[in-house]
Amino acid sequence: MNSYIKEVLERTHKKYSWEHEFLQAATEVLESLNLIIERVPKYKKHRILERITEPERIITFRVPWQDDRGEIRVNTGYRVEFNSTLGPYKGGLRFHPSVTLSGLKFLGFEQTFKNSLTGLPIGGGKGGSDFNVTGRSDNEVMRFCQSFMNELYRHVGPDTDVPAGDIGVGGREIGYLFGQYKKLVNRFEGWITGKGLNWGGSLIRPEATGFGAIYFAEEMLKMKNDTLEGKTLAVSGFGNVAWGCALKASELGAKIIAISGPDGFVYDKDGIIGEKIDYMLKMRASGKDIVEDYVKKFSSAEFFPGKRPWGLNCDIALPCAIQNELDENDAKELTKNQCKMVIEVSNMGCTPEAIQIFQQNNIPFAPGKAANAGGVATSGLEMSQNSMRLKWDKNEVDAKLKNIMINIHNNCIEAADEYSFTGDYISGANIAGFKKVADAMIEQGLV
Ligand code: GLU
């Protein structure tokens, strides 16, 4: 390993020894920059690695709210404003009991490179709270969102920091957050994306992460003179992202055969197509956070409690749920079952050991920061529409999204060819994302 990279990694590990997820992400990115750091001395001269691994600003705050029984509850709110070199901080808000500062630092760090890859003028950030949406009434969620905004509003804005949804933050939460911001600042502005279609949201935004991942898969297959036609796909999760994948995959002649939830996974031998895709939305809207109900409705399906879908025979695996959801054993299972390709749609969905297994077995692997960039890219398109006070039609947004995903794919390939080895999408994404941010940081001076 290059000595400068080694030095920075050692120092970061020592300084933030308890931030496991952040360290995992920083290690993965920095280790893949070996050749570019060796060849381009200005990055060391300007101490870019130390600067790029340190968030520009972190805000943490108390979120007090009252539940329906009148009990007072207190959660922690966060916003990690990681890097604003390429544009306003941009990245989702996650409401989930697993949310910690380490997790949000990893996500904000990843977001910086992902957003750079989109080619749009957006920096990187992430935020959220350890609040658990599951089982809460609409009123409780509204009161929580309002309290969260009572602090967050002063740190965000259309030219400062533009949050969006993520796990636990969908259309309902974005509505409540938006309403409270508008009330507090007395301005109707596009400071958050994923808004309702009647009040500034973009068409295709709900589908975008899933659509983008499938477009990326198409490009990877093209490199092998192959297409999605007839392929079987196993997906984890059953939220927006998995739903978007199912819609686009079935349109392109592929078949999703599995989805999963915290309770287990569903295998549908006939594929999740047509009304079954719409049913995914109904399950999500029920607020129960389980997938078992699917088998009560469709007899072609079987439910496997407590299991993940990686033991199935499938052509392509798409982890779409949460970080580190696919481990070494899952990777061995997929390899044994002749899986041909893995598209990581969740952020850092695969453990480093799992990725190693895929690499050893020459299974093409797309990292989340490239494959799932369609979501934030379409958020960028929502920001453009808000600034212009215009609304593009579905086809226009979809065509732009597709074009962005093709460019990301090609930039990964080119960067890997130049500074790593052919077909290494992980290094390709890290290098292509890094180069733009690092060069712009140097151009903007020591700030
Ligand atoms: N949470 C999504 C992501 O991880 C979307 C972020 C956004 O649209 O700003 O990229």
Which atom belonging to ligand 1 lies closest to the Cα atom of 376? 8
* Cα torsion 63, 386, 112, 172: sign: positive
Residues marked active site are found at: 126
Which atom belonging to ligand 1 lies closest to the Cα atom of 373? 10
Best residue among 166, 169, 241, 345 to mutate for probing ligand 1's pocket (most ligand atoms within 8 Å of CB) is: 166
Whole-prediction pTM: 0.97
Centre of ligand 1 from the C-alpha of residue 202, in Å = 14
Centre of ligand 1 from the C-alpha of residue 125, in Å = 9
Q: Please report the domains of the chain, with CATH numbers, ordered by start residue.
A: 1-53 (no CATH), 55-187 (3.40.50.10860), 208-371 (3.40.50.720)
Which atom belonging to ligand 1 lies closest to the Cα atom of 114? 10
Element (H, E) at 267: strand 264-268
The token pair at 394 is 């579905």
Which atom belonging to ligand 1 lies closest to the Cα atom of 165? 1
Best residue among 112, 240, 376 to mutate for probing ligand 1's pocket (most ligand atoms within 8 Å of CB) is: 376
The DSSP code sequence of 35-104 is HHHHH-THHHHTTHHHHHTS-SEEEEEEEEEE-TTS-EEEEEEEEEEEE-SSSSEEEEEEE-TT--HHHH
Centre of ligand 1 from the C-alpha of residue 429, in Å = 17
Centre of ligand 1 from the C-alpha of residue 417, in Å = 28
Type of residue numbered 362: N
Angle between the N-to-C axes of helices 352-360 and 20-31, in degrees from 0 to 180, rounded to the nearest 10: 30
Best residue among 111, 382, 397 to mutate for probing ligand 1's pocket (most ligand atoms within 8 Å of CB) is: 111
Which atom belonging to ligand 1 lies closest to the Cα atom of 90? 9
pLDDT in tens for each of the 447 residues of the chain?
A: 999 999 999 999 999 999 999 999 999 999 999 999 999 999 999 999 999 999 999 999 999 999 999 999 999 999 999 999 999 999 999 999 999 999 999 999 999 999 999 999 999 999 999 999 999 999 999 999 999 999 999 999 999 999 999 999 999 999 999 999 999 999 999 999 999 999 999 999 999 999 999 999 999 999 999 999 999 999 999 999 999 999 999 999 999 999 999 999 999 999 999 999 999 999 998 888 999 999 999 999 999 999 999 999 999 999 999 999 999 999 999 999 999 999 999 999 999 999 999 999 999 999 999 999 999 999 999 999 999 999 999 999 999 999 999 999 999 999 999 999 989 999 999 999 999 999 999 999 999
Q: What pLDDT does residue 287 have?
A: 85
Burial class (CB in 10 A: 0-12, 13-18, 19+), 344: buried
- Cβ < 6 Å from ligand 1: which residues? 90-92, 164, 166, 193, 347, 375-376, 379
Atom 8 in ligand 1: which residue has the minimum CA distance?
Answer: 376
Torsions phi, psi for 255 (to 5 deg): -135, 125
Centre of ligand 1 from the C-alpha of residue 274, in Å = 27
Centre of ligand 1 from the C-alpha of residue 14, in Å = 29
248-269 burial string, b = 16+ CB within 10 Å, else e?
bbbeeebbbbbbbbebbbbbbe
